[in-house]
Amino acid sequence: MAIALFFGVLVLSIVIHEAGHFWTARRFGMKAERFFIGFGPTLWSTQRGETEVGLKAIPAGGFVKIAGMSRSEPVDPVDEPRAFYNQPPHQRAIVLVAGVVTHFILAALLIWGGLTFSELPRFDGMQPVVGAAVGSVEEGTAAEAAGLQPGDELLTIAGDDATDPEAAVEAIASRPGETIEVAVLRDGEEEVLSATLPETDPDGEERGFLGVAIAGLPQFVSYGPGEAVVATFVGDASIFAQANAFIRGLGQALSPESLSAWLAQADGETPRSDAGPISVVGIGQAVGALGSADAWSGVLLLMIQIQIVIGFLNIIPLPPFDGGHLAQLAIESTVNGVRRLLGKTPDWELSPAVVTPLALAVLLLVVGFAATAIYIDIVNPVSGLFE
């Protein structure tokens, strides 16, 4: 169910992305000739007005074909006034960036929905905020005598904050032989338990020993509808915080050390780590593992992050990404602005002989990178991180 829901949202986001290009192009009077989801051979299509709408065999994105994307492209003389290249630069820029914007809008809506109707994990920068909880209780110990139970969320120990696992361990170790009060959250209610610690731990050292295994407990946050609107744009769960975490995480993932550790996992024997990128296969594995553990907030967080990832990837200023078309428009507009000042016809454009080889090189790089990620995720599944 988690995998189906996740990829359902992913497909929907692709449709909305292309709809952003389509709607803005139509809004500015351009002719949108085709609107397809997928690439490769056509599985199904139909004519809706002047636009052919359909599905293609490879579900790896989609495209909207607008008449006259390049001056070298043949355009029916009747459609010449509606050609993309004949529109003002600001309108062309809006059409190009419209698809990217939809991903950030969808991410913001998912954040608001998660904060309002569910909960989202708390983050401090890139690191999740982790609380302390009782993982297990040893028989015959002070913890058992006090009535501590697995799953109890630690609040304070002897008056000291114990919501951080390290702080909880230190609060216990520093009080050998003392009778302490342990405040916990159990089934949504706070309880205060009394425990008398022995003078020494099982190794004979003079340090407090309670007899519990302390586990990290992810912390979550949720708000009412109005507060969630503010939290969507301000705070640790905001779209800006998520975007910042992605940018910093991308820098770490693409560092020589991380890439080396990532490639080493291709042998299928090196333990899986979080170093390096993951493919769509790995994302499916992660979603499946989170869904199996009923960690739906984690699934939602992945939905949000994948929208931000797609948004940033599409704005990369290289063809064939939307950002590449935007960069081409900026270069052409600058050159034609200078030509206008010099009294020349402002009809210069980057030659397809330059753009096409660059687009193919970028595409080959992306495909090679993606194929490597898929192979690593198959031989060394991401789900190993959730065991």
Q: Is the pLDDT of residue 301 over 80?
A: yes
Quote the pLDDT of residue 353: 86
Q: Is the pLDDT of residue 103 over 90?
A: yes
Q: Is the pLDDT of residue 36 over 90?
A: yes
pLDDT 10s digits, 314-360: 999 999 999 999 999 999 999 999 999 999 998 898 988 889 999 99
Q: Is residue 349 part of a domain?
A: no
Of 12-26, 106-120, 263-277, 291-305, the one with minimum mean pLDDT is 263-277
Quote the pLDDT of residue 60: 78
What sign does the CA torsion over 97, 99, 100, 102 have? positive
Quote the pLDDT of residue 125: 63
Q: Is residue 156 part of a domain?
A: yes
Cβ atoms of residues 40 and 23 within 8 Å? no
Q: How many domains does the chain have?
A: 1
pLDDT 10s digits, 190-232: 999 999 999 999 989 999 999 999 988 888 889 999 999 999 9
What domain range is 170 assigned to?
A: 130-218
pLDDT 10s digits, 109-161: 999 999 999 989 887 766 778 889 999 999 999 999 999 999 899 999 999 99
Q: Is the pLDDT of residue 387 over 70?
A: no
Q: Is residue 246 part of a domain?
A: no
- Provide, for the chain, the percentages of residues in helix, strand and coil under a 3-state DSSP scheme, each rounded to the nearest 5: 50, 20, 30
Quote the pLDDT of residue 126: 62
Q: Is residue 116 part of a domain?
A: no
Q: Is residue 166 part of a domain?
A: yes
| Residue 154: its H or E element | strand 153-157
Q: Is residue 162 part of a domain?
A: yes
What is the model's pTM? Answer: 0.84
In a 3-state reduction of DSSP, which class is residue 112? Answer: helix
Residue 211 sits in a domain whose CATH number is 2.30.42.10
Phi-psi region of 23 (alpha: psi -120 to 50; beta: other; left: phi over 0): alpha
What is the mean predicted confidence (pLDDT) over 367-372? 92
Quote the pLDDT of residue 295: 84
Give which of 220, 219, 221, 224 is closest to 116, Cα–Cα: 224
Whole-number CA gyration radius for the chain: 28
Helices (H) and strands (E) in the chain, counts: 11, 12
Percent of the chain with pLDDT over 70: 99
What is the mean predicted confidence (pLDDT) over 299-315? 93
Q: Is residue 91 part of a domain?
A: no
Q: Is residue 180 part of a domain?
A: yes
- Tokens 């769960």 locate to 237
